[in-house]
Structure 1
Amino acid sequence: MGAFEDVEFQTIDGLTLRGRVYHADQRGPAIIMCPGFNCVLEMAGLPAVAEGFQTAGITVLLYDPRSVGASDGQPRNDIDPFKQVQDYSDALTFLKNLSTVEPRQIGFWGTSLSASIALSAAAFDKRAKLVIAASPVAEYHYNNDKMQQVLRTCLKDRESQIKGNPPFYIPMIDEFGQNPAGLDFGYNPEKAAAWSRSGMGLASNHVNRTTIQSYHKLAMWVPGAMWKHIDQTPVLFLIPETDRICPPEEQLRHFNNLKGPKKSYVRKGKGHMNLLEGEHVDELIKLQVDFIRDAIEGRAF
């Protein structure tokens, strides 16, 4: 395991977000990484990617999203992509002052929901030198009947909270191995059901539930309209061939709509949640490191 420093930083609205800095052995480029929907930094292969960047001489800030894991935020596990966009900028403000970081060589990195958030952050924060989006969720695909039922319950929850009651929560994965709102994360249903019934999280700080209002925010999250503001910032899409939350053809459609310098890579045989896990990860890390170096040096794609 690569060496890292536990850190915390402040957001514009006064929250403390917590994570790790994987310092490179010399001053140079840096990457800001954040996990996806209701995930913590230990999940989905993110530490291995951070260590790979560190070994290549790239400092990494990897942090838990607001209200999740070690980061502050109330109510807990309330997923708000709009606020998380701003958190990337606050993370950059923190990271650029570290001694191992060249302030003008910082990039944004995300996976799943955080990939679309990283792209949206870079659309407006031109301090970001580049963006890497792994499995970017441009448009959620879900079971419409389940989602509509959850959204109707969101209104009941609002009424309940106005009366002073705590927020409603639903599991990320239920006892049947399914997401109650109809999202398909690509988990094996039997294994997911057994994991859910065990009452444990997927990592030490992970909690298998979110506020039901998180899905109201996701239903309104249509980030592609923001990406038109990404003009000269280089972008790399890492696309899993069997993604079912946001199919690869939709990811490629949004990629093709980008006007600036860009590069895409489709990984065969991988799905939404395991793109960054397995024997191929070293190859993916090298591809990303090469992209980072090309973007910083201004080389064409």
Structure 2
Amino acid sequence: MAAAIDEGVGKVRRPELLNKIDVEVGINDALLLTSEDGILTALDDRTLRVWLRRQTGKYWPSVCHTLESSPTALYYYEPSRRLFCGCDSGLVHEFIVADDFNKITLECTYFGHQIRIQAVYFSYRHELLLTACREKKLNCYSTNPIDENRQNARGSYTLASMGMSITMDETFRQCFIGDSTGNIHFLKLNANNRFEPNKPLSGHTGSVQNLLWDPDTKWLYSGSFDTAVIVWDLAAPQGVAVELNGHSDRLVGISYDNLRKLLLTCSADGHIGVWPMNVKRNETTIWLENDSCQICRMPFFWNIREMWTQKQIGLRQHHCRKCGRAVCDKCAQTRKALPLLGYETVQRICDDCIKTLRNDETVPLASFYDLRQGTIKMDYRQGKKVMMSIGTDRTIKMNFRRENIEFFGKDNVILRGWLYCPSSSSSSSSSQSAIVMTHGFSGLKEMGLDEFARTFCCDGNFYVLVYDHQTFGSSDGQPRHDINPYSQIDDYSYAMNYLENRLNNKNISIGIWGTSYSGGHVFVVGKREKRRIKCIVSQVPTISGKNNLARRPQWQKILAEDQHCLYENREYIPIVNQANENMDLSNSFYHFFVDKYNCNEWINHMTRRSIHLYSQYEPWKSLIDLSPIPLLMIVAKQDTITSTEDQIDAYEKQVLEPKRLVLVDGGHFSVYPNEQSFEIVVKEALDWFIKYLK
């Protein structure tokens, strides 16, 4: 997947899925193209493939070139379209990629290795090719076409262990090779293409599979199996190494966005890290060793003499991550993150350091996101802000940035939300299509709508507008948390106006989607906006406020108390009340709003008049007038919130063709992400929109 990258610390948005490619064989390596929406892949079936995005929005191979053995490592220099491919047999091939990416032509084959190539690096500036293989050997080749015997190595160097990654400082012809033991070999390549070794860089305890050189700052970035990233400042007089800790699995990818000064890292468990590098961090503290705790002087378990003298059982040694002193567990009970020292996760801090620790020293600097798939490779292109990840399930995923938007709703209240734009949107205004979505009773857009919208945008190629209701979430409106169904209904129309103006297209095909309370809203909106709405999806909809109120004894009590001030009482009451007389209802609400989506912007209260407005809301009356707008109604079989029986009865008696009813297992909240029926309902909704909006 890929990150949405914005400037500034703490402003990086969550990666959003743009597209994916399902590959039937194992993937050894892959690279993103810059000039085209495409990918180069090295596959286990001995093929090199070039995947380009077609007009349908899907990726299909434009080239499928079969080699004598499986390709294992790729390097592509796009300005001259030169592709270098290392193979399992030890051969390295150079190809020229055609301008239209429909053909690759073999230019040269380089010899010198006998077994699998682990890494390749091409220097256009010096016309040099560096290769490392499993036989602990580093070779250097000339790639200048006028050189005789360029297919044979001009220089070679034997490594202490297997080379895993290569990068180069091309200004000073310095090569860096990460090996399988955690060392980084530091070699100078002289004018005769001979390697002159310098002292290796030691800091990792696991295989170094990722190396990246930034020529502007003269920083070397390394990522290892030990889960750490080390930033080596080789331009400093004494050399500085800053360790970045935030991942819990081995590093599989490192990229640097030098425009925004952001380091992007990816670990095998599918977590993306985005590290601002324009922040001054301190060098990682060196751990001190001692035979006793350097605070309380209690002996450690190997200090037999002090144990005997003090008549004390020896303690285990720990280290304070701030000062580096050796301490016992009792003297280092506190756990805090130390981002300025590179620790983004909580670490052990001694009692002395905690006394002087400032609040600004614990403020997170990096952002982390879960791609929800095991990952074996990551690549990033800063110009497009697109990242690619290769999953352990043989899926290649690409991502895009979700855009924050705002527009005026009813009474000029500013509504805020997200706009998802398809990567292959049609230039023809007549073929553009969009979906408007918002949540149900007090729900926020962060409560599961992102997964629906991403699916509709990526798999259906739709523009998708998601927003918060007035008085909720990021939208404006007073009093806060006032649930007015009539204002919410009107705001659907304002959202459609925004889409038409934003896309400069009054003929855009628009579908609307609603869930729970807004699942009833879409019936009323459809009746009002027959000219603009092409189809409707309503899941677990509110059918009758009066009928639903009969299942809420606490709300009936409030309604009776407020008879003298109906629709005016703006005092607050809890939305989720664990003391509710109907415990099944209360527990369902509590799990969804509090346990599952513990959103900081969601507050457990609403105005009392929200119940009065709810009690008079009867969206089922609009169903008879929806036709000929196609309606998909999704109903949960055990829905006790909006009543399965009410929904089916309204569908059968009030809705005219074209229509479709989908019954799914579970209760009211089973249709949301990570619940039992989500995959079914999102597919049904996507198919409905494709059928009637395309």
Question: Of 210, 235, 238, which aligns to 2:606?
Answer: 210
The whole-number CA distance in structure 2 between the counterparts of 1:175 and 1:185 is 6
Question: Of 554, 560, 585, which aligns to 1:184?
Answer: 585
Q: 1:157 touches 1:168 (CA, 8 Å); kept in 2?
A: no
SS in 2 for 1:97: helix
The whole-number CA distance in structure 1 between the counterparts of 2:567 and 2:525 is 32
For 1:14, the equivalent position in structure 2 comes to: 412
The structure whose RCO (Cα within 8 Å, separation 6+) is larger is 1
The whole-number CA distance in structure 2 between the counterparts of 1:48 and 1:259 is 30
SS in 2 for 1:108: strand
Change (3 A) 1:92 1:151: same
Q: 2:670 touches 2:677 (CA, 8 Å); kept in 1?
A: no
For 1:164, the equivalent position in structure 2 comes to: none
For 1:277, the equivalent position in structure 2 comes to: 673
For 1:136, the equivalent position in structure 2 comes to: 541
Change (3 A) 1:69 1:184: same
Q: 2:588 touches 2:669 (CA, 8 Å); kept in 1?
A: yes
Question: Of 443, 454, 472, which aligns to 1:51?
Answer: 454
SS in 2 for 1:149: helix
Say yes or no: does 1:81 pair with 2:485. yes
SS in 1 for 2:525: helix
The whole-number CA distance in structure 1 between the counterparts of 2:416 and 2:565 is 29
SS in 1 for 2:497: helix
Q: 2:664 touches 2:677 (CA, 8 Å); kept in 1?
A: no
The whole-number CA distance in structure 1 between the counterparts of 2:646 and 2:517 is 15
Q: 2:522 touches 2:538 (CA, 8 Å); kept in 1?
A: yes
Deviation at 1:227, TM superposition (A): 2.1
Q: 2:484 touches 2:613 (CA, 8 Å); kept in 1?
A: yes
Identity in percent: 26
Question: Of 552, 556, 568, which aligns to 1:148?
Answer: 556
Q: 2:434 touches 2:508 (CA, 8 Å); kept in 1?
A: no
Q: Which amino acid aligns with 1:15?
A: V
Q: Which runs of 5+ in 1 are unaligned?
A: 162-166
Change (3 A) 1:75 1:86: same
Query: Per-residue displacement from partner, 1:52-71 (whole Å, max 9, x unpaired)?
Result: 01112111101001111111
For 2:529, the equivalent position in structure 1 comes to: 125
Q: Which amino acid aligns with 1:245?
A: I
CA RMSD of aligned residues (A): 2.8
SS in 2 for 1:30: strand
For 2:692, the equivalent position in structure 1 comes to: 295
Change (3 A) 1:184 1:77: same
Q: 1:224 touches 1:254 (CA, 8 Å); kept in 2?
A: yes
Say yes or no: does 1:253 pair with 2:646. no
Rg (Cα) greater in structure: 2
Q: How many residues align?
A: 283
The whole-number CA distance in structure 2 between the counterparts of 1:179 and 1:100 is 52
Q: Which amino acid aligns with 1:267?
A: V
Change (3 A) 1:202 1:154: farther
Q: Which runs of 5+ in 2 are unaligned?
A: 1-14, 17-400, 427-431
SS in 2 for 1:129: strand
The whole-number CA distance in structure 2 between the counterparts of 1:41 and 1:192 is 13
Q: 1:185 touches 1:273 (CA, 8 Å); kept in 2?
A: no
Query: Per-residue displacement from partner, 1:87-146 (whole Å, max 9, x unpaired)?
Result: 101110101223397843111100000010012111111111111001011024244542
SS in 1 for 2:686: helix
The whole-number CA distance in structure 2 between the counterparts of 1:19 and 1:76 is 17
Structure with the larger strand share: 2
Q: 1:20 touches 1:61 (CA, 8 Å); kept in 2?
A: yes
For 1:222, the equivalent position in structure 2 comes to: 618
The whole-number CA distance in structure 2 between the counterparts of 1:220 and 1:40 is 23
Change (3 A) 1:173 1:292: same
SS in 2 for 1:95: helix
Change (3 A) 1:76 1:242: same
Q: Which amino acid aligns with 2:419?
A: V
Q: 2:471 touches 2:481 (CA, 8 Å); kept in 1?
A: yes
Deviation at 1:226, TM superposition (A): 1.9
Q: 1:97 touches 1:103 (CA, 8 Å); kept in 2?
A: no
The whole-number CA distance in structure 1 between the counterparts of 2:660 and 2:648 is 11
SS in 1 for 2:533: coil
Q: Which amino acid aligns with 1:291?
A: W
Deviation at 1:202, TM superposition (A): 3.1
SS in 1 for 2:406: strand
Change (3 A) 1:179 1:171: farther
SS in 2 for 1:295: helix
Deviation at 1:156, TM superposition (A): 5.8
Change (3 A) 1:186 1:97: farther
Change (3 A) 1:103 1:24: farther
SS in 2 for 1:146: helix
Deviation at 1:286, TM superposition (A): 2.3
Deviation at 1:272, TM superposition (A): 0.9
Q: Taking structure 2 as the reference length, what is the TM-score of the superposition?
A: 0.38
